[in-house]
Amino acid sequence: MTEPNSAPSLDEKSVQEAASLAARASDAQKQLAELSQTQVDRIVNAVADAAFNNAEALASAAVDETGFGVLEDKIEKNIFASKKVYEFIRTMKTVGVISRDESRGLIEIAEPFGVVAAIIPSTNPTSTTIYKALIAIKARCSIVFSPHPSAVRSIAKTAALIARAAEAAGAPKDSVSWLNTVTIAGTQALMRRREVAVILATGGLALVREAYSAGKPAYGVGPGNAPAYIEASADIRKAVRDIITGKTFDNGLLCSSENSVVVDSIIGEEVRREFQSNGGYFLSESEQKTLSKVLVTPQRLPNPEFVGRSALEIAGLSDIDVPPDTTVLLATLDGVGREYPLSIEKLCPVLSFYEVPDWRAACERCKEILRYGGMGHTMAIHSQNDEIVLEFGLKKPAFRIIVNSPTTHGSIGLTTGLDPAMTLGCGGYGGNITSDNITPKHLINVKRIAYGTSSTSRQHTRPQSQSIRLPQPPVRSTEENIPSSVILERIDKKIAAEDGPARDTTNSHSQATQGLQSMPVDFVCEDDVQKAIREDRPILINERTIVTPAARDLALTHKVFREEGLTRIY
């Protein structure tokens, strides 16, 4: 509580501002909802024009304030957000009747979701603000921005520009607003305000979890850690150029930028030479250790001092001597996880490098990389073999498989046919509500008028001449009739075989299932694993369980995880 006659704290100011902005945005929302498609499109066009015409000034403001990235690339991102996104949504119907299906007797009507709380990151502050404003207004949703504390000025400048353009074109006042006093408490309060209908959250895992716990529908996007696989049939020169292009674009600040390179060993040396001829510098073992200590924090996160820096700047900060034409730093690794710090997501031009025997081994390595902080996000495959490309699409826990293109550009729809977007859903793998690239369609609800198309008179009787063929039950495997005791015995034998002859399996099942929950958990952190170790019990997970890198490493060491179905413990 604030003492009498004392000035309110920053948190209190931020919370009060969040309440005021949400209330005013709600009033604006009611007016926005009454606009016609023509009026909405006029506003959207004005906002896109204003952002496009100020792309360079806004990019400069972002670089000056945050120190992140490359000015030219931030300009390109602003142009993408204001031009490419606008061109994609320009003809989209978002008001009134949006479709009719005469054969099914259906009429669909768009309804705006409501007030949007938009969390903006420091890595892509101006382009994300432009993009989220466009898709919100197109859906007739008012929007309140919560800037990252280190990018408040550039985000506020962008939002103010958008607000002026929108109001001049006929948008209600307060359709676009933003927090000026930014604290964690204020952002949390904004997301929990009753006036807010939906949250667009872009940021780290903690922020995304906070958005999903706010009690509102939320589109949250977490880390990427995208691997790029170069298969033996690939155009090696193009593949390497694409990877360097993606990784150096804005110094690797997009969460979908490449973080690892996985290469078939048969072409490994050729790929290395190609990287070197394009400014790639392969770190020695001692240089890798040096870089690991300064680039990766004890929490297994990239050091903010290195985020968005060039390869030359990173080398200088690490006291590593590299040629002046160095574009990316590469670390040859043998594994993924806590023992290999440079296998995490690196928001800068540093790549981990792996050689594998074939595409099957590459498949498994890419899974490991994605599980270490990039579940559901993005990966790339460079190959001319369509069968292998399809196998990767079928088996990888990523929802954007970019083929023969940089992941950075391909994932957002700049060089692929994906919907142009700066917010990329990670689906169930990543704990998100959708795997889509987020567009205005995700900010509208659809009413459906449904005409009757058949009579109910035959629901309870049928002519004797007619017969109904019920679907046949699926053929069950005889394995399903095996007694549970036999199944458990097989499990124990499998565990013993995996752990070696020294393991005592007499009580393995009873020990493993002691305290085991009946359903897989949704999320596991390091504290959860430590508690399970203390209580001598496993944790049941499945492919959709979100596991933090620290938790996975600890669980692997102590064999805490049990996969759904009790097929193995690790």
- 380: which strand partners? 228, 402
End-to-end Cα separation, the chain, in angstroms: 48
- Give the CA-trace dihedral at 487, 488, 491, 493, to 10 degrees: -100
Torsion region of 252: left, alpha or beta (phi above 0 gives left; psi -120 to 50 gives alpha): left
DSSP three-state, residue 153: helix
Residue 522 CA from chain centroid, whole number: 17
Distance CA 244, CA 275 (A): 8
Residue with tokens 């079928």: 394
Q: Which runs of consecutive H residues, i.e. helices, occur in 176-303?
A: 184-192, 205-212, 236-248, 268-277, 285-295
Residue 547 CA from chain centroid, whole number: 15
Which of 255, 363, 366, 426 is flagged as catalytic? Answer: 255
Give phi and psi for 263, each to the nearest 5. -130, 140
- E strands of 301-361, at which residues? 328-332, 350-356
Say which residues have a Cβ less than 8 Å from residue 309's Cβ, sequence separation at least 6: 251, 317, 348
Q: Is 366 a catalytic residue?
A: no
Give phi and psi for 518, each to the nearest 5. -80, -20
Distance CA 271, CA 26 (A): 55
Residue 5 CA from chain centroid, whole number: 45
Q: Which residues are catalytic?
A: 255
